[in-house]
Amino acid sequence: MADFDVIVVGSGMSGGWVAKEMSEKGFKVAVIERGRDISPTKDYTDMVDPWDTPNLDKTSAQDRADYPVQSEVYAFNQNTKHYWVKDGEHPYETPAGQDYKWRRGYHTGGRSIMWGRQSYRMSEIDFEANKKDGHGVDWPVRYKDIAPWYDYVEKFAGISGSKEGLEILPDGVFQPPHELTCAEKEFKKSIETKFPGRKLIPGRAAHLTKPTAEQSALGRGECQARSLCERGCSYGAYFSSNAATLPAAKRTGNLTMINDTAVHKVDYDAASGRVTGVKTVNVTTGEAKTITARVVFLNASTIATSMILLNSKSDAMPNGLANSSGQLGHNLMDHVAGARGGGMMPGMLDKYHYGRRPNGFYIPRFRNHTEEGEGFVRGFGYQGRIYRLNWRANLNKAGIGDDFKSQNQTPGPWYLGMVAFAEVLPNFDNHISLHKTKTDQWGMAVPVINAKYGANEVALIKQATRDTRAMLEASGFIGIEGDNPDRISADTMSTPGNGIHEMGTARMGRDPSTSVLNGFNQAHDVSNLFITDGSFMTSGGCQNPSLSYMAFSARAADHAAKLMKAGTI
């Protein structure tokens, strides 16, 4: 008799969805989280006043020593550092001459607390891309297969956005969008007139702007536009496992949370061809324990999931669990950020924006869609915002007296900041492996992360940089700042991992010889093993991927539940 019906490894964006779906379908579910439990009343800091924040909320020298990788994230400060891991306690390696930024937090909810909340569907164009241009393998699904599940998760999670009728960026089930500022509306008018194939729309964000009865019943409230999201939201206004999926799972009575417990390997029974559970270690006490279940879902995040599977090798599977294809750990992708631009928009000084909207504008991909891309495949999208500069613009400027005080009380001009996120192609050589000799303090082999940009990614960012400047110049911005396309190379671009969208190392596919999972996130080699974190992605698109993780997780859980009830697994 197994301890549980279902084990879910990881409580973040995708794990929370699996826990909700399986619990609501009547199965006994254990969510194993390697980090501590946290609660809004004790751990969220969105109600802390600025004058009560140590060090004026600035990163200290000691922080940079303790968190050399994590402290570079925009969301790291004195009010949030307890969400991020201390890098020295969780080591990883990269080959000589390479670098990788592995950003992570170990606690209930994982990075669903700290994410940027931008939520976009993949399109039919994305699902067909690999087959059409020959990179990677063909997705075993198409948009029509996933569209109902996008509907399903959007309705529950709460996504604010506008319906635009764009083929490249399908519409969804939206709550009212955050309104564009007046300057953003002018920018929209300009680029859509001067570049007819381009659109500027409100960002699609996982924020409640008109909560449903279901969302209110979970204790979630409307977004207050305070833009303190990285601290955790006591209102539950943005989607997180802690605010939405885990509470929904808990109210069924079928959920057991197991915190402070790291999974080292998945147990496999060669006689039955199935997994039987997981081997764990308590990260506080060091106690080792085996937990059993009928079905195992891995949702530990791409790198950690790959580590667990590679460590789960056996005589029957000497290259790692579910790795007959040899693809496990390979095809590591992210999104590469670049083409940063800024500038001041003249005029409209009699107007001001209201509140601190935790969102901005989005310019969906247009290259290799409405406009050709020369020398590269795929494309990029832009995220940005235009606000009036305030007193913070003078933080590092010298001054004293009435004139300086007046200067800091008067709003500055409208200022635009924007950045492109470009697709990274699947590449077998970008991969994760386990170090042959080095282990962490719990005895797990340290991962070695090998990730480099190719010529296509460089060409994308160069084109995005040129397009950034062209749009700003055509729209009359002054004091334009931005990257120089002539100086862009694989070595000068944003370091791999900085997108915090790592994915692809246990990809879906039609052929078991070239992929790890089938079209329902089920391992080709092991029928009762499912993976629904970013590992399953066959290609990355240029959109933020979390909404896709949610949709595929709900769909895979539904499929697994049907197989379990039929007695197939």
Q: What is the pLDDT of residues 355-379, one digit of tens each?
A: 899 999 999 999 999 999 999 999 9
Structure token digits, residue 121: 């569907």
The closest of 122, 111, 73 to 542, measured between CA atoms, is: 122
d(CA 420, CA 455): 17
Contact status, residue 81 vs residue 62, Cβ threshold 8 Å:
no
Mean pLDDT across the chain, nearest whole number?
Answer: 96
Q: Tell me: the pLDDT tens digits for 392-413? A: 666 667 888 887 777 777 888 9
What radius of gyration do the chain's Cα atoms show? 23
Distance CA 120, CA 359 (A): 13
Q: What is the identity of the amino acid at 122? A: M
Q: Which CATH number fits domain 1-40+104-161+232-333+428-440+500-569: 3.50.50.60, 3.30.300.20, 3.60.15.10, 3.40.50.2300?
A: 3.50.50.60
Residue of 506, 539, 540, 504 whose CA lies nearest to 524: 506
What share of the chain has pLDDT > 90, as a percent?
93
Mean pLDDT, residues 271-285 taken together: 98
How far apart are alpha carbons 247 and 243 in whole angstroms? Answer: 7
The residue ranges of DSSP E strands in 470-568, in sequence order, are: 478-482, 529-531
58: three-class secondary structure by DSSP: coil
Given a contact cutoff of 8 angstroms between Cβ atoms, the answer to whether 309 and 529 are in contact is no
Phi, psi of 9, deg, nearest 5: -95, 105
328-348 mean pLDDT: 97
Q: How many helices (H) and strands (E) does the chain have?
A: 12, 17
Q: What is the pLDDT of residues 207-234, one digit of tens each?
A: 999 999 999 999 999 999 999 999 999 9
pLDDT at residue 410, as a whole number:
80
Give the range among 18-27, 57-66, 293-302, 383-392 with minimum mean pLDDT: 383-392
pLDDT tens, 486-507? 999 999 999 999 999 999 999 9
First to last CA, the chain: 14
**Average of pLDDT values for 153-167?**
98
Q: 378's torsion region: left (phi>0), alpha (psi -120 to 50) or beta?
A: left
What CA–CA distance (Å, rounded) separates 380 from 369?
11
Mind listing the pLDDT tens digit for each residue in 231-265?
A: 999 999 999 999 999 999 999 999 999 999 999 99
Domain boundary assignment for the chain? 1-40+104-161+232-333+428-440+500-569, 170-203+335-423+452-495
Type and span of the H or E element at 559: helix 546-566
CB 263 within 8 A of CB 289: no
